Amino acid sequence: MLIIKHHLKILGLALLLLGSACYAEGLHSNVLENEEVKLQRSDLSIKLEEEAKAKIAIFARTLKQTLVSAMKAGGPENGIKVCKESAQQIATMLSTDGWQMSRTSLKTRNPNNQASDWETANLLQFDAQYKQGAAPNTLTASLQTQDAFLYMKAIPTGKICLSCHGVSIDNDLQQTIMAAYPEDSATGFTLDDIRGAFSLVKSLNE
């Protein structure tokens, strides 16, 4: 009987060691798999970030050229009309291949551009960093979830913005703004402020 108990004890220890080895191997395998997933996500994030930057560059360049031409032709009042129509057209043109492109701000002109909680947090951080001397082209944020990739890039307040978004706005121009945007709150900006941000979302389910 003692011999049998001894053998059972040895067998139990052997099974315990085997179980521990299998658990360790499984844990190691899970770690490797998790690291591989992280690397895949990292590579995908880099690729999507480059795509987002390319779309932002086109948006910014096209809208600025359109707005400058409009203001030269008909002053800020004409700029309001063209900006209202063209900005959405450009965003729609660039919203392809699963991307949705828009602009947002802490103080919006178009109520459809209200910032989400995630966008608001980033806008506040962008503005604080900008006031501390950060270059605007370094103010970006991204987030990758299982279903989507989100990217934001800050828009500084430029001199061309001040006519329609600044502290002192002509009364006639203010009436034009309110006629086009009854819920406007996008005024009071200075050159020290972040005007808003480009905001992009890429669906990862397509």
For 105-126, the DSSP string reads BSS-SSGGGB--HHHHHHHHHH
Q: What is the pLDDT of residue 80?
A: 92
pTM: 0.79
pLDDT by 10s per residue, the chain, length 206: 544 444 445 545 444 444 555 444 554 445 444 555 444 567 899 999 999 999 999 999 999 999 999 999 999 999 998 888 899 999 999 999 999 999 999 999 999 999 999 999 999 999 999 999 999 999 999 999 999 999 999 999 999 899 999 999 999 999 999 999 999 999 999 999 999 999 999 999 86
> How far, CA to CA in Å, does 141 sit from each of 53, 127, 135, 160, 202?
12, 13, 14, 25, 14
Q: What is the pLDDT of residue 19?
A: 53
Q: What is the pLDDT of residue 91?
A: 95
What does the block give as tokens for 167? Answer: 């502290």
State the distance between the two ends of the chain, measured CA to CA, in whole angstroms: 67
- Residue 119 CB burial class (10 angstroms; 0-12, 13-18, ≥19): buried
Give Dmax (Cα) for the chain: 106
Q: What is the pLDDT of residue 42?
A: 78
Task: Identify the bridge partners of residue 105 per DSSP, sorted by sequence position.
Answer: 114
Residue reference for tokens 């950060």: 134
